[in-house]
Chain A
């Protein structure tokens, strides 16, 4: 028996004005049919109950603790309360609730690092709402890394991975203007991103020898320097170094020919140089069931691959597929990690 199986997943509230509450409720309603792994919701119980009423869902919300969440899960949606300061208006974000939104995230990390919960799954937040309340991080991921750094005292490089059934892709640079990409791409950043990816694939994805494919930056991967120097001057030396360290790695590959079916069969993860190089193939291969996984943190974290969608909140049309995939993947990674440690 795997002991982590008894520990629920920690699911954060996200922005309560958005669809996070809708998809949380939908996931619980489908718990039996879709074998949803048990989670405990960290957030405002009355906001959740109110949204259930609005959606016409009969969902008993029960305040409990991590020890009793798994046994509760079949009968009621377990909640560890994090109370919102202001009443939640469906679809209308309120920065007065920023404290509860970030508080739930902090709590999820603490519980997971303490072994009370087995992984962190985050519902979507809207950064602009948090900025109004003084939030200082570029995004969710950087905030999680900061919490992890404060807890461990070690600097962390969070690495974003998009994981779907047909492709796992890691962008080395993410939410920056395209014109800054070449300057940001240092050998050190590419090396650390690859190394973290490989380490996590080994420790958490059950891949003892992950096969890594690295995309080039320029058209045709630079075509020997004719179309840009970065592929040969910056990316290739990193690949050579990782090869020498025993990593099964190939590249820099022309980005346009590395994502069709036959090419994808040759690797486990694609390392991409910029956001859209990873996101174009990921989205072409399927929207609904792709998951964001943050690698390089001292805890497991997944999240659905969409935003708060305020305009859809409370209407009963938000799809829970990506959250379900995020919950399943978090469970799988937690089990793999526990298996690996035994």
Chain B
């Protein structure tokens, strides 16, 4: 028996209309486990959604609502806010366009504002096309930057990659490899561990176990191939342990993910982008979830892209999008419970 009042409200922004986003949105709105876990307020254009539903072979039973007062529509059915801002005739399937980017950025902005004003407890979105987003919003570096702009958030936001069995957080991300070593510090690593632990706890891991990768070949091999493990990473791990963290390392990067799976670590903290991304993508991260941690609300999306090559064919796999919503729902519920307890 589901208690509807306890289901968090998740604002779901429709992503790029030229790819599989319409189909995925329609599928998400019809899944019973999502209905049990969350009350979805989807944002987009009803005509685009209906095309996605037709493509997926679904008939949707949604409550229509206005942006100003979607709450009036109740929570017995998922809600759709129709912004009426994109005619299907203007969609070029498989193309990144200004029209597509305008549609997706407006949906995303609207969803973020709902969460920012406390009207939703989490935000999810189906895949965006970065090129299209940039046509519509030239300052669009990545989701994190856009979110910070929209809600005026100045805190630290980090991208986590989430697979069923292991999470990946990274100390540095989109910077040149030559700047990685000089960007590492005990403080930076500790801050990252703190955020990782907090997000894992929100996701339901009470005592998260975190593995930390070294920077250098063989984790420096006792100082033979670099000193960062001894001077920076090791002391950061010691400091975290002293604060009660269940954290271990630095482990050689070439086996840290294998070790995490074998020894039951829930997360791996890597020092740079490809150190984690190579392993995660080989483990099927396309089926995983990207979570932006550090915001006042949960923000999740499937890790895969717009899949222009299979758009409109009705064969898109909803698995990663489903995981994204379920993770967001878990995190939203957990932080609500914590707020109530405080």
Contact = CB atoms under 8 A, between A and B. Distances in A.
Contacts of B174: 219-220, 223, 227
A222 B179 CA distance: 13
A284 interface: yes
Interface in A162-206: 174-179, 181-182
Nearest to A264: B282
Interface in A239-277: 255-257, 259-260, 274-277
Given A174-B217, A178-B226, A281 B278 contact: yes
B226 A179 contact: yes
Nearest to B180: A178
Nearest to A282: B254
Given A218-B176, A284-B258, A177 B216 contact: yes
Interface string B239-279: 00000000000000111011000000000000011110111
Contact of A276 (B176, B221, B254, B281): B254
Interface residues of A, number: 35
A256 B278 contact: yes
Given A219-B274, A260-B281, A178 B216 contact: yes
A280 B254 contact: yes
A283 interface: yes
Contacts of A287: 258
A283 B182 CA distance: 27
Nearest to B141: A226
Contacts of B175: 219, 227-228
Given A177-B226, A179-B226, A284 B274 contact: no
Contact of A280 (B218, B221, B224, B275): B275
Contacts of B253: 276, 279-280
A229 B181 CA distance: 17
B317 to A, nearest CB: 16
B225 interface: yes
A217 interface: yes
Nearest to B286: A260
Contacts of B217: 174-176, 178, 274-276, 279
A283 B177 CA distance: 22
B120 interface: no
B178 interface: yes
Given A219-B174, A219-B273, A283 B254 contact: yes
Nearest to A226: B174
B176 A255 contact: no
Classify the secondary structure of B's interface with A: helix
Residue from the set A176, A223, A287 with the largest chain B CB neighbour count within 10 Å: A176
Contact of B274 (A174, A223, A255, A285): A255
Contacts of A229: 176
A130 to B, nearest CB: 14
A259 B216 contact: no
Interface in B169-194: 173-178, 180-182
Contacts of A181: 177
Interface in A198-236: 217-220, 222-223, 227-230
Interface string A283-302: 11101000000000000000
Contacts of A175: 217-218, 221, 224-225
Contacts of B182: 179
A256 B283 CA distance: 11
B227 interface: yes
B299 interface: no
B37 interface: no
A72 to B, nearest CB: 38
Nearest to B172: A219
Given A175-B217, A227-B174, A257 B225 contact: no
B9 interface: no
A307 to B, nearest CB: 10
Interface in A52-85: none
Of listed B173, B278, B281, residue having the most chain A CB within 10 A: B278
Contacts of A281: 278-279, 282
A260 B283 CA distance: 8
Contact of B176 (A228, A277, A285): A228
Nearest to B271: A178
Contact of A284 (B177, B272, B283): B283
B215 interface: yes
A260 B280 CA distance: 10
A213 B255 CA distance: 23
Contacts of B280: 256
Contacts of B228: 177-179
B140 to A, nearest CB: 13
A259 B279 CA distance: 9
A178 B228 CA distance: 10
A277 to B, nearest CB: 7
A178 B282 contact: no
26 contacts: A175-B217, A175-B218, A175-B221, A177-B220, A178-B177, A178-B181, A181-B177, A182-B176, A219-B273, A223-B174, A227-B176, A228-B176, A228-B177, A229-B176, A230-B177, A230-B178, A255-B278, A260-B282, A274-B217, A280-B253, A280-B275, A280-B279, A281-B282, A283-B255, A284-B283, A287-B258
Given A178-B181, A257-B281, 5 more contacts: A176-B217, A176-B225, A182-B177, A219-B274, A260-B282
